[in-house]
A and B are shown apart, each in its own frame.
Chain A
Amino acid sequence: MVKEFESSINEKDFILQGIKEGLRLDNRDIYDFRQLGITFGPDYGRSEVTLGNTRVLAKVSCEVMRPYQDRPAEGMITLSTEMSPMAFPSVEPGRPSEEEILVSRILEKAIKRSRAIDTEGLCIVANEKVWSIRVDIHFLDHDGNIIDAACIAAISALAHFRRPDITVIGEEVTIHSIEQRNPVPLSIHHMPICVTFAFFENGEYVVVDPTLQEEQIRQGDMTMTLNIHKEICALSKAGGTPLKMETIINCSQIATTKAKWITEQIQAALDAEKSKK
């Protein structure tokens, strides 16, 4: 196995000292996100998100499938994450790493478990045919905080996606191609936004949106998923340094403002894309 590249001790000390003084290498405030870029297209349901140097691509596709027996009137959503050795030199191709499992579970909780997408609206004929929506998430470049970038990419791709229109007459289902009829958007209940925190010095110093170097020296992390209605959709702090309750409450307040800001950015990007067409 290839060992992950690590910063030198001097470099680590330097970054840590900076964080203690409220300074970061890329000249951000400790509670600031990096520059967020969202681009769509060329086809529906494809978005590329850049968060500083981190780059994630999400592509949504759909097909008609038979529903699960215990949920005959609900469509399906599948999230698939792929960490290639392109962005993660330490990852062994073919076998999912622990990090990949955690990332895909957080995204699953954020998007599926919080019912962000109306799955009942994806039903065509109960017990027979439903839409199965698949989101493929590819990590192109890894400079820390892939979870937040992946979540933004996935939800903006879902918001941008259009599925072919259908007509149902009795048992007969006709799927109209995009040329024939205007495709229809998915109905999205809310947009879950992940905000990741990194903790240093036994939880005394908190940083939002850590870079790869900051991730290497952090002692713990926490990902909060919120929507614009101030609801926590998922929360994940798997071990790491123990935290005081006040710190967590404080983080949740920061996360609400960040979630609002990111939602506005996504909305602006979607509107800009719409006006282009």
Chain B
Amino acid sequence: MSSRLELIGPQGLRTDGRRFNELRNMNCKPSVLSQADGSAYIEQGNTKCLAAVYGPREARTKAQVLHNRANINVEISLAPFSMEERKKRSKSDKRILEIASAVKQTFEPIIMTELYARSQIDIYLQILQFDGGTVQICINAATLAIIDAGIPMKDYVCACSAGCIDDEPVLDLNHLEESNTPELTVALLPKNDKITLLQMESRLHIDKFQQVMEMAAKGCKEIHTVLDKAVRENIKDLLKKSSI
């Protein structure tokens, strides 16, 4: 039975050899696509995501025009080869639409959309490989791509998940862990420690809630340093290239 699965080994290590409070290995690179205004590629453990941002540009249909701010459009697709079982997922899958709407609503108050009235910002996200934490990687990739596109934002948005295995809070769940434990995803603005997105599935006792949320928030801060470093390095590269 899957519920009897040992998620913590005898040495106190998790199935992929991490400790309780350890993030998965994170790799990220902005500016990976030539056509997009901004793009980014992120790996968090075995979950891989590619993001492209277009805009601010003219809205595609008149119905999408907002007279006082830019409209944000988010599309997420899961590659058919991203999961164990090869399967084509339709774009109207409820789960994917839910994540897309969560990403959209997360960025709406953060991007300074009021500067670009009557225009549209498109965020396209492609999950290339899936191993848990779809929401968090989508948000992190989108943040990096929006920064790369030069669209003004109030702050970074960093997302991270945390869960609870045998009453012990654990950070950054992989797919095996998230299907067997409660999972809490937090998106944080690192500058003022405010939470923009909070999602949880499965059952967690309220006494543990604060502990798990604080752990996820700590993970968000770690992710922030990684993203910030990637952005700064990218800018340094650009400066070097332009000075020649």
Interface residues of A (CB under 8 A from B): 1, 98, 101-102, 104-105, 109, 113-115, 203, 219-220, 222, 226-227, 229-245, 248-249, 252, 256
5 interchain residue pairs of minimum CB distance:
A239-B105, A242-B194, A235-B200, A239-B106, A238-B102
* Contact of B95 with A by CB under 8 A: yes
22 contacts between A and B (CB under 8 A): A113-B202, A114-B202, A114-B203, A115-B203, A219-B109, A227-B203, A232-B200, A232-B205, A234-B200, A237-B195, A237-B196, A238-B98, A238-B105, A238-B199, A239-B102, A239-B109, A241-B196, A242-B110, A245-B213, A248-B195, A248-B198, A252-B206
Interface members, chain B 155-209 (any A CB < 8 Å): 182, 184, 189, 192-207, 209
Interface pair A1/B98, CB less than 8 Å apart: no
Interface pair A235/B198, CB less than 8 Å apart: yes
Q: Contacting A238 at CB < 8 Å: which of B95, B106, B189, B207?
A: B106
For B107, the chain A residues whose CB sits under 8 A away are 239
How near does chain A come to B103, taking the closest CB pair, in angstroms? 8
* CB nearest to A239 among chain B residues: B105
Q: Contacting B95 at CB < 8 Å: which of A105, A233, A240?
A: A105
Number of interface residues of B (CB under 8 A): 39
* CB nearest to A230 among chain B residues: B206
* Contact of B15 with A by CB under 8 A: no
Interface pair A243/B194, CB less than 8 Å apart: yes
Most buried by A among B63, B203, B207: B203
Bound CA span A272–B192, Å:
50
* CB nearest to B106 among chain A residues: A239
* Contact of B210 with A by CB under 8 A: yes
Interface residues of B (CB under 8 A from A): 63, 94-95, 97-98, 101-110, 182, 184, 189, 192-207, 209-210, 213-214, 217
For B109, the chain A residues whose CB sits under 8 A away are 219-220, 239-242
For B102, the chain A residues whose CB sits under 8 A away are 238-239
For A232, the chain B residues whose CB sits under 8 A away are 182, 200, 203-206, 209
Q: Contacting A245 at CB < 8 Å: which of B98, B110, B196, B217?
A: B217
Bound CA span A241–B108, Å:
9
* CB nearest to A241 among chain B residues: B109
How near does chain A come to B175, taking the closest CB pair, in angstroms? 15
Bound CA span A226–B182, Å:
13
Bound CA span A58–B201, Å:
23
For B217, the chain A residues whose CB sits under 8 A away are 245
Interface pair A244/B203, CB less than 8 Å apart: no
Interface pair B94/A101, CB less than 8 Å apart: yes
For B194, the chain A residues whose CB sits under 8 A away are 203, 242-244
Interface pair A239/B202, CB less than 8 Å apart: no
Bound CA span A245–B209, Å:
11
How near does chain A come to B205, taking the closest CB pair, in angstroms? 5
**Extra contacts besides A242-B189, A244-B194 (18): CB < 8 Å:** A105-B95, A105-B98, A230-B207, A231-B204, A232-B209, A233-B202, A235-B184, A235-B198, A237-B199, A238-B197, A239-B107, A239-B108, A240-B109, A243-B195, A243-B196, A245-B195, A249-B210, A256-B206
Bound CA span A226–B203, Å:
9
Interface pair A226/B101, CB less than 8 Å apart: no
Bound CA span A203–B98, Å:
23
